Structure 1
């Protein structure tokens, strides 16, 4: 009697299907390229901000001239040559995944050309000292690299442009934060609306590989260092709840402010100036960010990773205005129209909020509240609680805070949903409005 599971026939069927193996090899190869592209992007952007920091240390007043001039130039170039590269990059990928975006229109949102432009313009933004992160832009960069693979995929490969975009966008988060699991969760939570069951294993492998490229080159180092959280007991309940509610409120207001600034009809005077004179408005935003940066002693420039590392390490004990100043500087940077992400600035804002609440309550275990503030503000601003939880969980020494972090992310997201619609989903609809509208009869 012939076995229902014929090993020889299954082996022949599996390994003689060359088109399928060609598709697998191409997807894996482009995933590795996407991971390397994000690693390279990270390296050049950090170098660029290092050059800005050196200039600022030599001549403290230079940002008052340099930052507004660069901001105006970046916005002019973006609007003139790469309109699809503006903003975070996540809304563009989400717009490309919408059914309204036809296959021949995907290049308006995601392409290799836009990936190159995104790297150059975002790096220039960090060279200018603007308050931005590279993680959101990394999503668009990696998605553009992955989407390029469809040119060489064989027909009937089963790998669609939708799958490549999901894998590429998630690979961007995985490689930017050295968290492959975070990339997978980002794909599930933000990007994938209609999962491709047949190829999900291949696409998930691509996301993990892109993240592992970053880990293999950069090691397991986390973006803001390692949080040594202590005092994880019942005494954390009340302070932790206060941080969850405060970060949810602040993150929800931040999301609502961004939507009102970037995706609403120009009702106020500033928005009308932005619509009529975008380059001049960008210069004004750059000047304001420079002034805030000087007032903060340089702390709000860039992603504020150094300031946040000091908080995480327990060296930044003095409460101050950093939370408010970083909040405003990040909003102004996004409002200016430059290519800019908010993930890293949101983590910095959340860390400052947690630290300030610890000092206000005289809570002895500030590290725990800093971690909760980071996950809470990021979850509230992006309304992606599981992705936020995984990203911050990677930074915590030990697993004692896992349940606390997850609970904080969920509470903060719930508060945010009352105050604001989802940020990226809302901004993706604005991206879709850039498509040519059919002529009315």
Structure 2
């Protein structure tokens, strides 16, 4: 056996000296870490503000709230009015903040996007507006989430680091946006591994990130900031999710099939709604977007009245109650949450479908358990399978879905069943529709002849980007 050539081995002391005396690279690293800290702080602020908005709406419509028994009925006027106000402001001042923000980041990551277009889609200004506008939608009682929007928020904060990086830093806009988006989703769900997988599966189109350690460092730093505020707990608290037993194989298979079909339909419905067509609703939306949004919001308010407010907001409280076996929901909760989320997205207001998808999936798992006669405690694994199945079918990101749900529910004991459900549901969804976020990102890309130049991009940036 040949002895290794010592001349080809790393010179530890020489490399260490070079790292110590290299001044500017350390400054660049410090800038990236500082922006990662800022991303974590912004996500924390976003979380606190959005939760306060959801709580305020729930308190206002509660029987013991400041409006008494009239709160639930006044929501029929409050929800459309505030929705119109949020949409008007968004269309007037920050049209690229519409929808969830994930398609905007994907469009900004496209190699053909100009600097002006990229800055219009992802920036610190858009991120700060996004926080307030999503919170406004939650205050209105719409069925939207903040987790998807944190992707655009985190990407905008991290992209801001470019102005302080040296020309030789070797860190480009693509890596910064991917790192910020991954850090945002990781801090929002407290799922660091899920953030990494989301970035690799959904966002980056490169075979490898030129600075993979940048993504990890940003996620760890932003995650530490979030953990220091909220504590090192899972998204749904401490749960006891047990693995599937043999008697749950058939119900579990039904959950995977049902979530695959429902998630594919939901994804297709969202894309078709955003694309528009020759039907009267699409014509009404194009001609009178504010009136159309008011009509959709009124429908959401009616659904909220029927479900006693269970369909409002992201649905995290309802999902957690289902996972704890404590929630007694209306028989048609799942269908109504599905419709409320679709109508909320159709308004065009800033807001995501990530967390509502988890709520819909949990409802499907709960419904299958009821049909199969499964008790409340044994139904918990089916609810977890419903969450991962519907999320995987909606996003067509099975690895991201199963990792995020596994981390959220501390479901390491059922990792194989979660993985199998995600793959099956995603495969069924692909028979119905193409990936939702790719389709929505394509709607944001201008034709080649209309691609804005660096000097004239401002006019194109004013066009609404209604992608949920």
CA distance in 1, matches of 2:246, 2:392: 23
Whether the 8 Å CA contact 1:171–1:206 is kept in 2: the answer is: yes
TM-score, structure 2 as length reference? 0.90
Structure 1 residues 414 and 261, CA gap change in structure 2 (3 angstroms): same
Deviations 1:171-193 (A, max 9, x none): 11101001111100001101111
Matched, 1:133 2:138: no
- Alignment partners' CA distance in 1, 2:311 and 2:281: 23
Q: 2:13 aligns with which of 8, 17, 26?
A: 8
Q: 2:175 touches 2:209 (CA, 8 Å); kept in 1?
A: no
| From 446, 460, 463, the counterpart of 1:433 | 446
Partner residue of 1:321 out of 329, 332, 347: 332
Aligned residue pairs total 438
CA distance in 2 between partners of 1:125 and 1:52 (Å): 10
Are 1:29 and 2:34 matched, yes or no? yes
1:40 counterpart = 2:57: no
Are the equivalent residues in 1 in contact too, given 2:183–2:215 (CA < 8 A)? no
Structure 1: 5+ residue stretches without partners: none
> What is the aligned-residue RMSD (CA, Å)?
1.8
The corresponding residue for 2:344 is: 333
Q: Return 5-14 or 26-35, whichever deviates more.
A: 5-14
Structure 1 residue 362 displacement after superposition: 0.7
Secondary structure, in 3 states, of the residue corresponding to 2:167? coil
Partner of 2:457 in structure 1? none
**How far apart are 1:233 and its partner, in Å?**
2.3
Of stretches 364-373 and 228-237 in structure 1, the one that deviates more from structure 2 is 228-237
CA distance in 2: counterparts of 1:162 and 1:36, whole angstroms: 22
- Distance of aligned partners of 1:206 and 1:436 in 2 relative to their CA distance in 1, 3 Å threshold: farther
| Residue 283 in structure 1 maps to residue 288 in structure 2 | no
Question: Which residue does the alignment assign to 1:204?
Answer: 216
Q: Please identify, of 317-326 and 26-35, the stretch whose mean Cα deviation from structure 2 is larger.
A: 317-326
Deviations 1:175-216 (A, max 9, x none): 100111110000110111115554211222112221222122
Give the TM-score, by structure 1 length. Answer: 0.96
What is the CA-CA distance between 1:318 and the residue it aligns to?
5.3
Match of 2:409 in 1: 396
Task: From the superposition, tell whether residues 96 and 404 of structure 1 become closer, same or farther in structure 2 (CA, over 3 Å).
Answer: same
Alpha-carbon distance in structure 1 between the residues aligned to 2:360 and 2:89: 29
* Equivalent residue for 1:217, pick from 229, 253, 257: 229
Shift of 1:284: 0.7
Q: Aligned pair in 2 of structure 1 residues 173, 397: CA closer, same or farther (>3 Å)?
A: closer
Q: Alpha-carbon deviations, 1:208-243, whole Å to 9, x = none?
A: 221222122111333334442336222222111110
Matched, 1:53 2:66: no
Q: 1:147 aligns with which of 159, 176, 190?
A: 159
